[in-house]
Structure 1
Amino acid sequence: MTVKQLLLEYDKVNERGTLSPGDTLSGRVTVVTDKETKVQCFLVKAKGKAEVMWPEQDRGASLVHSDKKTYFYFEDIILQDKKGDGSIIIGPGKNVYSFTFEIPKRDMPSSYKGKWGKIIYSLRAKLTQSIWQVHKAKTEFPFLTKSEFPFVSKSEMIIIGLKEPQYGTRISFYGSGKVTMNVSSEKMGLKQGETMEVSAEVLNNSAHTVTPKFFLCEKQTFVAQSQRIVHTNAILLGTGESVSAATSRTVSTVLTVPSHLPPTFFNCSKMKLEYRLKVTLDVPLGRDLEIKLPLVILLGQPKPPKEKAKRSWFT
């Protein structure tokens, strides 16, 4: 083996290390050899794609649903032996080759990895010496959409409701008693790392003690041609104070969205990501009462690195 190392790197253009539509993707491929090396073809590829795949059992048969969408594909041939005479040679030692691609200025979703699909943007280098000697290198780069609201259509780009308070009410009967729960949040849109107050007003006219619980619900939807699958996940944020029988109480808490939580998005035809704030009343020997409020998570501002500390959903 004359090729000792094949290293692929790209240049960061901002403090996040992300690339976006319209940016220049540049970098270099480093090839380290111990002697002169004949090359048939040496190239670099840049690709952005969304792909989904999930298994399913249908009448005892195993099926796999899959689909993909390509957002861009570029190829830069650095070296190629078109004549086939072995005249294309890489010298011994360290050899560095630069490349540059222009990312298209179009609406493309951010990088994302979910239960049954992912949106990935990657670079690949391939050096072919012969049919039996092929060297490859791959790296993924984080991609960030330029759409301010990647969860609505272009005709609805300004969403006033993101800053408006949200309310929900439910009433349930347990035996001869009635339980009413009113839930409110300061707004529907919340940036990564941002906090907001959530309140649950409970009027308990039943004979049971009820306890409010707060959840963050995630909904991932994947589409492959005419098939669709949904993956949901509920994260318990915390439990409020119990409300005794024949009493009322308002329980308030502060919700902090983790800075690493992916933002809401709809601008991918193969998958989408949604969130809900769910408040339930845990009722002994009864069906839990629940209220779901829409929650749109927006991209936050990057924060400087700092020492790790324990973080809580409640303050």
Structure 2
Amino acid sequence: MLFDRVKRLSVELDCPEVASPPVFSSGESVAGRVVLELSGTARLGALHLHAQGAAKVHWTESRSAGSSTAYTQSYSDQVEFLSHRQTLLAPPDNGDVTVLQAGRHEFPFTFQLPESLATSFEGKHGSVRYWVKAKLHRPWASVKKAKKDFTIIEPIDINTPALLAPQAGAKEKLARAWYCNRGLVSVSAKIDRKGYTPGEVIPIFAEIDNCSTRTVVPKAAIIQTQTFVARGTKKQKKSVVASMVGDAIAAGKREVWHGRALKIPPVGPSILQCHIIHVEYALKVCIEIPGTSKLFLELPLVIGTIPLHPFGSRTSSVSSQYSVSLDWVRMGIPEEPEAPPEYSSVVSSEGPLETLSPPSQDGAPPGVLEGPFFAYIQEFRFRPPPLYSEVDPNPQSDAAIRPRCMTC
């Protein structure tokens, strides 16, 4: 515009760490400024600020009604988490306009985030987004707007009794082929705790008994389940975020996993408190049995943001050897992670399941992963905790040592 004196209108947020967009948690104070650059003297009206945050879901389903007629049903819902309005520049009481000279002008602001927010998220059928928008009103001119996104990461501390509790289970299946009994296949598995953080290694302890006449192959995978809820209807998207394949087990043999390692890749934390979007994880142990359906054992996981303390409880001593302390660096992930197998390769084929391979990166910023907002975390810098040892550094004399039961 020929007489437009506004060179730039932008929103800047203060953040303790360099990040784009900045990262905050619920309950924190957000501070920043609206920057206005003028090329000449300008007559201005009001300058308003609006901070918003909301979860939205939307998807459509096509349904068949008869042999040739079909209709489409849409589902959508929205939950608002944040709405803060503030006037940074108000017109004079006499109804006149404000006149500002050429140059740079800053309008500081601050507001408090609510205590309960959902982690930022980008998914196929929904999202959780937060942003700050500035609107500059001018007489005889269009409204000038500027917007700045920011990220919310809700802390999930895995150092709680519920998330430090071991998870275990057992399943068995009778292998059948052409109505013939081929024997029993059973699996029992255990992990030391329920809560983990990205970058950690999950040690899997399992026993697989193959009493069938076929060779079976064990697998393990971390499954992410995104659930979207609207109008009482659910839509799910499942994907494999990490996997491993064990050695083939011959007929009549047993295989034991003594802490087989499965590393958690850079994925977003669990989302459990949002009413319309849930992100959950599970460790799934799968036994492929030729000629019959697969045997599955599923153990729940919670992906947190606060890692295990180096001097945690005695019950987590084994897993603490695999634990790491990570630093969050809020930037894009520099390298493309290795693509895990398709979801259908490690889950049951019961029912019409869509192919759930890792999301396409086409059209997305470099390094952005679909899921709870991990797009702005660059890397994990690992600092291994002190090694756990059963050896007493100050042993007693031989006479004072009592026999110890090794099975205790």
Do these two structures clear the TM 0.5 threshold for a shared fold by scoring above it? yes
Decide whether the 8 Å contact of 1:167 with 1:185 is kept in 2: no
Give the stretch that moved more between structures: 79-88 or 59-68.
79-88
User: What is the match of residue 43 of structure 1?
Assistant: 48
User: What is the match of residue 39 of structure 2?
Assistant: 34
User: What is the match of residue 12 of structure 2?
Assistant: 9
User: What is the match of residue 226 of structure 2?
Assistant: 220
CA distance 1:220–1:128, shift in 2 (3 Å): same
Q: Which amino acid aligns with 1:135?
A: K
Q: What is the Cα-based RMSD across aligned positions, in Å?
A: 2.9
Tell me the CA shift for residue 28 of structure 1.
0.8
CA distance 1:101–1:147, shift in 2 (3 Å): same
Q: Which amino acid aligns with 1:71?
A: F
Whether 2:308 is the aligned partner of 1:303: answer no
User: In proportion to residue count, which structure has more strand?
Assistant: 1
User: What is the match of residue 168 of structure 1?
Assistant: 170
Partner secondary structure for residue 266 of structure 1: coil
Measured in 1, the distance between the counterparts of 2:94 and 2:211 equals: 87
Tell me the CA shift for residue 242 of structure 1.
0.7
Aligned residue runs from structure 1 range 71-110, under 5 A: 71-81=81-91, 87-104=97-114, 106-110=115-119
Tell me the CA shift for residue 285 of structure 1.
2.9
Q: Which amino acid aligns with 2:192?
A: E
CA distance 1:111–1:308, shift in 2 (3 Å): closer
Q: Which of the pair has more CA radius of gyration?
A: 2
CA distance 1:299–1:131, shift in 2 (3 Å): farther
- Give 5+ residue unaligned stretches, structure 2: 308-325, 341-408
TM-score (norm 1): 0.85
Whether 2:72 is the aligned partner of 1:62: answer yes
CA distance 1:310–1:23, shift in 2 (3 Å): closer
CA distance 1:311–1:235, shift in 2 (3 Å): closer
Identity across matched positions, percent = 24
Partner secondary structure for residue 142 of structure 1: strand
Whether 2:279 is the aligned partner of 1:277: answer no
The Cα offsets for residues 257-290 of structure 1, whole Å up to 9 and x where unpaired, read as 22x3222222111211111111111222321111
Tell me the CA shift for residue 159 of structure 1.
4.1
Q: What is the number of residues matched between the two proteins?
A: 304
Decide whether the 8 Å contact of 2:282 with 2:301 is kept in 1: yes
Q: Which amino acid aligns with 1:56?
A: E
Measured in 2, the distance between the counterparts of 1:89 and 1:44 equals: 20
User: What is the match of residue 124 of structure 2?
Assistant: 115
Measured in 2, the distance between the counterparts of 1:92 and 1:146 equals: 44
Measured in 2, the distance between the counterparts of 1:227 and 1:110 equals: 22
Aligned residue runs from structure 1 range 130-279, under 5 A: 133-145=142-154, 148=157, 159-160=161-162, 162-174=164-176, 175-252=181-258, 253-258=260-265, 260-279=266-285
- Give 5+ residue unaligned stretches, structure 1: 150-156
